[in-house]
Structures are given as structure tokens and as C-alpha cells.
Chains A and B, each alone.
Chain A
Amino acid sequence: MVFGKRSIITLAVLAVIIGWVYYFLTARGITYIWHWEQIPQLLFYHGTKTAAETTPSWHLGVLMIGFVLTVKISIVAIIFAVILGTIVGICRLSSEPITRAISIAFVELIRNTPLLVQIYIIYFFAGSMLRLSAFAAGTAALAIFEGAYVGEIVRAGIQSIHKGQMEAARSLGMSYAKAMRYIILPQAFKRIIPPLAGQFISLVKDSSLVSVIALADLMFQGQQAVARTYSAFEIYFTVAALYLVMTSILSMATQYIERRLAVSD
């Protein structure tokens, strides 16, 4: 299975939508000059990138350059969101009231304000104070935002593990930290893979918002290309398809991991 059944259906639906738009426009006698021929070179092109290059070769087009950056942002943000979320989730269940309160406040604050506002705050305020690059600021904003959601998922996962597990681990002389690390978290993570996968998919899609701070991700490159060519429909559809590719790969990867971890069930 190279490509999941679900992604094939999704791509088919996308194709049907495009077909319907064609039909709709022609049926009403609206003339729209299609420029699908511009799309391939936005993905890959054969030519010279710089004046120094004498022989032409294959290069990534702007959309693919944006795609690669979106992948990078997403991977880094996912890693930090998981680390942050695990800390937040554990603190949320701490016996220390202050630790617990900080964790609750963080989750509420982050979940109840728009990501777009957070991106602006982090980029224009924290970013300029700490001299963060657009990449660092955008990725940090995403990681913090999704980390709050991951924190709630991790908390639910830990709470779903029977308390006898913690008692058995502690009765063998394990410290709370060791019991968490070796006994509780491995079981909790196995259980939260499905909601976590959903969160990662949200993160990939939400990453399109970082285009507002001039981070040249897939969305940003798409907007620029539309501004140059006026082929809004063709380009945004291609951009959507590229996001679909990323999210499909992600959901297939999580299904694979889920199956691998099911051996002890």
C-alpha cells in the first residue's frame, strides 16, 4: 500500500470538484482562461537557477520550496509540541496546587485565544525582543499552541491508565518519575495515538497561518505565485492537494505505528 484508500478517495473528490467548476463555468458561458500549464514549473523546473550555472538541471519550483519549508516547520513544531504537551499534561496531574494551576492557566490562555493573534504577538513582540527569526517565531507559536492541546490529550491518556499500574510500579521501589517514564507514559502514549494524530494534522494545516509573518511556507509561496500569475484557482487547488499529501502521509504513519504497538494487546 503506497497510498491509503482514504487519500485516493479524497484526491478523487478533489478532481470531481475541479470538474464541476469547469462544468459550472461553461454552462453559464463564463470565460475563464485556464492556465494549468503554469503549475508544473511551480513544482519542478528544468533550467538554471543562478547565472553561475552554465548547464541547466532540475530544480524545485516555488511551491515545492514552500512545501519543504512547511514540512520542516511542522516536524520541528510537532517535536516541541509533544515535549511541551507531555510536561503540561504531567503538571496538570501534579499534587502541587501551584504547578497544577500554572498548567491549567497555560492551557486555558492558549486554547482560548486565536493562533493568528499568538503568532503576531510572538513574532512582533517576543521575536523582536529576543531577535528570533521568522522561522523560530512561527515554529514556536505553533508548538506552544498545539502543545496546549497535546497537554490535554496527554492528561487524558495518563488518567486512563488504571491506578494499579502506578501502585505496582511504586511498590517495586520505583520513584514517581521512573514509574511515569517506564510504566505510565508508554501505555498512555499508545492509547492517545489516534487523538494525537488528529492534532498533528491540525498542526500541519494551522502552519499555513505563519505565512502572515512572511515565512515563505507553502501558503505564502502560493499567494506570491497567484499575485504573479492571477491563476488563483489552479494554484490554490495545487496548494490544497500538497497539504493533503502531507496530512495523508501523517495519518498513514500513525496507523502504521498503531498496528506495530498493538502486539501486547
Chain B
Amino acid sequence: MIRVNHLYKTFKTPNRREVKALVDFSTHIKKGEVVVIIGPSGSGKSTFLRCLNRLEEVDSGEIIIDGQNILEKKADINKVREELGMVFQHFNLFPHKTVLENVTLAQLIVRKRDKEKATKIARDLLEKVGIADKESAYPSQLSGGQQQRVAIARALAMQPKIMMFDEATSALDPEMIGEVLDVMKTLAREGMTMLAVTHEMGFAREVSDRVIFMDGGQIVEEGTAEHFFQNPEHERTKLFLSQIL
């Protein structure tokens, strides 16, 4: 479904140093697969997700989604993004819109659904993530966990083929992590193709098909969650896991 070939991405820091965020990064994600990406800070995990929907432009390489190289000039990036749902660490809900408007807006102006249909889809999704009663509240009136669940509903409303979670639970208070993870687990069990940057190894163990450990912009090791728990091979992987578990 997604084939990533030899991605390179370099950032320039303000003092003109170059930071290699992705170095010859290649992987393949199958339909319905749930992939968890772990790795130390600055290892390129988030950069990889952000390159997939071109929030960051790569230096070179190929990203082929359903047979189309989305890095080509003729690719319509807005169309590509409709199919790639993204959930951010800091939610990024639209603060001037109510919860319901947050979930309907892109349906109306991007998917061009009529208001009735968009509202119905939005209400069903809000029900699914467990905040149907908050539809007329503004984001600032919600807790972090509730905001993140709205953000998931907002992304799902576009009916994307893939959902990407960029440290979706890292900015939450501990007692709210569970409610967001539950929504993510439900999605995974329903067969959604998912790419999640997270350090929640419980989540990885319960629902992931594959775990990728990244460091220095490269894949160091990959395998099932069980593999990472029982016998990680590389020293760097072992060190990292000993720090987060």
C-alpha cells in the first residue's frame, strides 16, 4: 500500500549545521498493517510521518502510495492528504470552531459533502470516540484526552486509507493516555492501516503487527512487539528499551 524507497531528509539548524533526519530510509506498509515506530528523540520518527504527507519535503527518494509516487510534481498533494489522516502530539484542533465544526469542516470544504451527511458522519464518529455530548463545546473547554479524541474523529471523518499518529499521547496527563489509546486500539482491531510513533509498548504489544526501532534516521531493527520484549538484537535497541520500559 505504501512503499518508501531510499528517503533522505536533511534539516539545517539556525547555526547552519546540517542534521540528517532520514538516511536511506526504506520500508513497506501493507494494507491493514499496524506499524509502531519507536526510537530516541531526534531519530527521525516524526520526520518520517511528516514526509509521508509532505508536511516536510524530502531531499530525495520515493514514496509510492497505491502505485502513485506522491513526490512527483504532477501529484496533487491535497488529494493525497485526504487519504492520509494525521493526529498530532498537540492535537492542533481549530480553537475558533466547535467540536462538531472541527469534525465537519474539512468534510464540507474538501470532500464536498453536504451539511447533513457531514454532520451525521461527525456525530457517529464523536459517538465512537466517546464525546458525543461535547459537540457544541469549544476545544478550550475540553481536557487534553478529549481534545485528542476529537482530533482523531476529525481525521477519521475524511475516511482516510491510513491513519498516522505522531506521538498522540505524549502531551497528555497520565490519566488521559488510556482513553486515547483505547480509541487507537479499537481502530487497529477494525483493520485500519496505522502508523504510530509512540513509546506506549503496551499498545505495541496488544495491537501492532510490526515495530520499527529507528535511530539516526535509519531503521536499526524491526520485528514483532514480542521480539522487542524478548530478544532485541542490537545494543542500541536494548539500551533504548531499558530506558523506556
Q: Tell me the A residues contacting B by CB distance below 8 Å.
A: 162, 164-165, 167-175, 178, 182-183, 186-187, 190, 263-265
Q: Which of B88-96, B119-127, B188-196, B237-245 contacts A (4 or more CB under 8 A)?
A: B88-96
Are the CB atoms of B92 and A164 closer together than 8 Å? yes
A186–B101 alpha-carbon span in the complex (Å): 14
Are the CB atoms of B95 and A173 closer together than 8 Å? no
Are the CB atoms of A171 and B84 closer together than 8 Å? yes
Are the CB atoms of A173 and B158 closer together than 8 Å? yes
How close is A116's CB to chain B, nearest CB, in angstroms?
40
A173–B78 alpha-carbon span in the complex (Å): 4
A167–B154 alpha-carbon span in the complex (Å): 14
Are the CB atoms of B90 and A164 closer together than 8 Å? yes
A175–B81 alpha-carbon span in the complex (Å): 10
Are the CB atoms of A172 and B138 closer together than 8 Å? no
**B110 at interface (Cβ–Cβ under 8 A)?**
yes
In the assembled complex, which residues on chain A have CB atoms less than 8 Å from the CB atom of B93? Answer: 168
15 A–B contacts, CB within 8 A, in A order? A165-B94, A167-B55, A168-B88, A168-B93, A170-B78, A172-B106, A172-B154, A174-B78, A178-B110, A182-B105, A182-B109, A183-B94, A263-B138, A264-B97, A264-B138
In the assembled complex, which residues on chain B have CB atoms less than 8 Å from the CB atom of A265? Answer: 140
In the assembled complex, which residues on chain A have CB atoms less than 8 Å from the CB atom of B86? Answer: 168, 171
Instruction: Convert B143-156 into 0s and 1s, putting 1 for each residue whose CB lies closer than 8 angstroms to a CB of A.
Output: 00000000100110
Interface of chain A, helix or strand or loop or mixed? helix
The 6 tightest CB contacts between A and B, nearest first, are A168-B92, A173-B82, A172-B106, A164-B92, A171-B86, A264-B138
How close is B172's CB to chain A, nearest CB, in angstroms?
16
A162–B90 alpha-carbon span in the complex (Å): 11
Query: Which of A173, A174, A264 interacts with B96 by CB under 8 Å?
Result: A264
In the assembled complex, which residues on chain A have CB atoms less than 8 Å from the CB atom of B110? Answer: 172-174, 178
Are the CB atoms of A170 and B109 closer together than 8 Å? no
In the assembled complex, which residues on chain B have CB atoms less than 8 Å from the CB atom of A174? Answer: 78, 106, 109-110
Are the CB atoms of A187 and B55 closer together than 8 Å? no
Are the CB atoms of B79 and A173 closer together than 8 Å? yes
Additional A-B contacts beyond A169-B106, A171-B85, A264-B139 (12; CB < 8 A): A164-B88, A164-B90, A164-B92, A168-B94, A171-B53, A172-B110, A173-B111, A174-B78, A175-B78, A264-B98, A264-B138, A265-B140
A264–B93 alpha-carbon span in the complex (Å): 12
Max chain B Cβ within 10 angstroms of own Cβ: one of A168, A173, A183, A187: A173
Query: Which of A164, A173, A190 interacts with B81 by CB under 8 Å?
Result: A173
Smallest Cβ-Cβ distance to A164: which chain B residue: B92
Are the CB atoms of A264 and B106 closer together than 8 Å? no
A187–B55 alpha-carbon span in the complex (Å): 21
In the assembled complex, which residues on chain B have CB atoms less than 8 Å from the CB atom of A172? Answer: 81-82, 105-106, 110, 154-155, 158
